[in-house]
A and B are shown apart, each in its own frame.
Chain A
Amino acid sequence: MPAGTLYRGREGMWSWVAHRVTGVLIFFFLFVHVLDTALVRVSPEDYDKVVSTYKTPVVSLLEYGLVAAILFHALNGLRIIAVDYWTQGPRYQKQMFWSVMVLWVILMAGAVYPVLGHAARVLFGS
């Protein structure tokens, strides 16, 4: 382990850690996602076969996790820009972090039905 990568703690550091982790996760998903979409150049059947696995309940749960990572990275990214460019940004970085978290929870609650609804219908019928 490189020395000195843990310091201070609190909102500033943990948002930085979460930004890194979500960023790396999204990058790896994006790589796979371009590969799976490239199957439209192979055949409609191959593409539809792979996309059908995206509609299974387990992968739907992973999709919900992906949405969680993307929304956090997007909202916290806007907070970073505000810290960099808004003169009052550094002073209010904690308040902005908690605003990001509140907005994130609301959006994630709103995403439950649209993203997981399909999985629920597969599992419980109708």
Chain B
Amino acid sequence: MATEVSTEDAVELTGSSSAYGPDNPAPVIEPPRARTQRSPRATRTNFELYGWLFMRLSGVVLVVLVIGHLLIQLVLDGGVTKVGFAFVAGRWASPFWQGWDLVMLWLAMLHGGNGLRTVINDYAEQPNTRFWLKTLLFTAVAFTIVLGSLVIFTFDPNIR
């Protein structure tokens, strides 16, 4: 319930605070979560915020790219029956599908990599285990992205 504050209840400035004014400003108090050189590494940047945002943005794009990919590979035109070297060559003759697969590869690996990083952070309790699992994860993600990109860019339909 909102009631009028009577003049007797109003806070009266007393002591040192009454002395501050334009000519004598109060000392600046640092916000409790201000980031300094001494902040722990994990809270020095907004990395986790951007990671969270990336999961949502890449997720929306991946829904379109991956479901389109599934329709083409597993549903349309005989499903998995038609998939083979000739089919891949036909698709990657078009820069559009090369671009589609490249974006899908990068977004899916980074989305999955960040998801697994969350899972490792949640369940691996020993600092050593966490470090090595994340090192392994980073290596696998980097390797897969580089390999996949190279395959898309250097694909040669006349390899044989």
- The interface of chain A, by Cβ under 8 A from chain B, is 2, 5, 20, 23-24, 26-27, 30-31, 34-35, 37-38, 40-41, 43-45, 47-48, 51, 54-55, 60, 63, 67, 70-71, 74, 77-78, 80-81, 84-85, 111, 114-115, 117-118
Interface contacts (Cβ under 8 Å), in number, total 107
**What residues on B are CB-neighbors of A51 within 8 Å?**
83-84
Q: Contact: B66 with A70, CB < 8 Å?
A: yes
Give how many B residues have a beta carbon under 8 Å from the other chain's beta carbons. 41
Contact A40 B80 (CB under 8 A): no
Interface residues of B (CB under 8 A from A): 56, 59-60, 62-63, 66-67, 70, 74-75, 78-81, 83-86, 88, 105, 108-109, 112-113, 115-116, 119, 122-123, 125, 140, 144, 147-148, 150-151, 154-156, 159-160
**A63 with B74: in contact, given A30-B112, A70-B66 (CB under 8 Å)?**
yes
Q: Verify B148–A26 contact, CB threshold 8 A.
A: no
Once A63-B74, A70-B70 are accepted as A-B contacts, the answer to whether A37 and B148 lie under 8 Å apart by CB is: yes
Instruction: Pick the residue among A27, A37, A70 that contacts B115 (CB under 8 A).
Output: A27
Instruction: Report the 5 A-B pairs with minimum CB-CB distance, sorted nearest first.
Output: A44-B85, A27-B112, A114-B75, A34-B148, A77-B59
* Prevailing SS type, chain B contact patch: helix
Contacts of A34 in B (CB 8 A): 105, 144, 147-148, 151
Are A43 and B116 interface neighbours, CB within 8 A? Answer: no
A2 with B123: CB separation less than 8 A: yes
Min Cβ gap A2→B in Å is 6
Of the candidates B78, B88, B119, B150, the one whose C-beta lies within 8 Å of that of A24 is B119
Our pick among B78, B81, B88 for the contact of A47 (Cβ within 8 Å) is B88
Q: Which residues of the other chain, A, contact B83 by a CB distance below 8 angstroms?
A: 51, 54-55
Residues of chain A with a CB closer than 8 A to B160's CB: 43-45
**Contact call A118/B79, Cβ cutoff below 8 A:** yes
**B85 near A48 (CB under 8 angstroms)?**
yes
B120 to chain A minimum Cβ distance, whole angstroms, is: 10
Q: How far is the CB of B68 from chain A (nearest CB, A)?
A: 12
Quote the shortest CB–CB distance from B35 to chain A (angstroms). 25
